[in-house]
Structure 1
Amino acid sequence: MSSTSENKPTVVLVHGAFADASSWNGVIERLRHEGHPVVAPANPLRGLAHDADYLSDFLDSLDGPLVLVGHSYGGAVISQAAAGNPQVKALVYVAAFIPETGESALELSDRFPGSTLGPNLDSVSTGTETDLYIKADAFHHQFAADVPRSVTDLMAATQRPVAASALEEKATTTAWKTVPSWSLIATEDFNIPPAAQRFMSERARAHTTEVSASHAVSVSQPAAVAHIIEQASRATAG
């Protein structure tokens, strides 16, 4: 390890839809090398209020300052879960939603052109809910075009579905209004239009970096993702 974890905030990595916590593996490796305590809890993907409450309870089990990092839909989850938690010192959005109160992920994505996600989804009824998956034959191009196909084939097979209602649920709190924020925009993203990412990042007054990458930027460019998290960590320590 290049440095010790003393006085460094714990980094909490929250995945989004169609992924799981393993999507952070490359980022975790780099952050740990820099001495950061890191955890990547499972995001239930059942509904914004439900998922934010789950994460909020998880955060209560951690000591010391925290940097929350959300990918995609996970950005909406960290925004809501962090509200009123004094341990949270920074929010980092990675190709993520940064909703205002009253906005949903689906609404924000549809507000700007560029997303091709809708036609590439399969829906599965679970009786009480409709789960959404990216079609296996579309997963590589749609989600992770800059990741080797041998990897995306595995990602497609193990993807976590999101409840359709979760993407339609409106945010009720916005921690980014009071917590310093950072944003990484993936300019080759076919899930969340880059124009939407820029709009949300500018509105949140986030410290923003743009990277030529797919939606799966944490997999294809983990060093770039770890770098912006390090920036947020250093700023909160200063």
Structure 2
Amino acid sequence: MSSGGPPRALRSDARRNREKVVAAALEIFTERGLDAPLEDIARRAGVSIGTLYNRFPSREALIDEILPDLIGAQIEAGREALAHPDPWEGFVLYVTRTCELQARSRAVTDALSMRFDRAEKLAEACAQGLSHVGAIIDRAREDGGLRPDFTPADLVYIIWSNARVVEATASVAPETWRRNLAFVLDGLRAEAAHPIAEPPMSPEQIDEAMRGLARR
């Protein structure tokens, strides 16, 4: 009967609001990281902050809705790295894919830092993504491509340093992190370094990036 109309309309409105909040959160978290104000997400979604909290009672609940799918790309990279016939190239593939994810989304960098331990789904996805790391590194070391003293803990340094390079150069030379990573990877080889395809930044780009960091 006609009395069934309003509840269905309300459920439809609630679903649309949820979808708008999720879309806005993905955009803002990608642009600005997981610490971005929830008020800004609500504003971009075109809803009130109360509506956002009705759908997602905490920041972690919103993070859990969005980030596991992004981390899924890292999980797949781990599988591909272990399946690669060349252990060194598998290692390079995994590290490069991880850095690419960081370059595409500040949210990924925040997620990999494990700062949001109350986001249970995210923590589970990150743990799964990192579960391949030891085996990827062991294969590359045992095959002789990766220096023998490199450990999974050392991979954290690459992730941290890449995050800073991406942050400093995103608006100036957004692909220059690849040059930095190429130097890092050559330094990890057990053989001589190879040529690097990515050109260096110009003096003007370096100056602009440095001034940008100083303003933050």
TM-score with structure 1 length normalisation? 0.25
More strand by share: 1
TM-score with structure 2 length normalisation? 0.26
Structure with bigger RCO (C-alpha 8 Å, 6+ apart): 1
More helix by share: 2
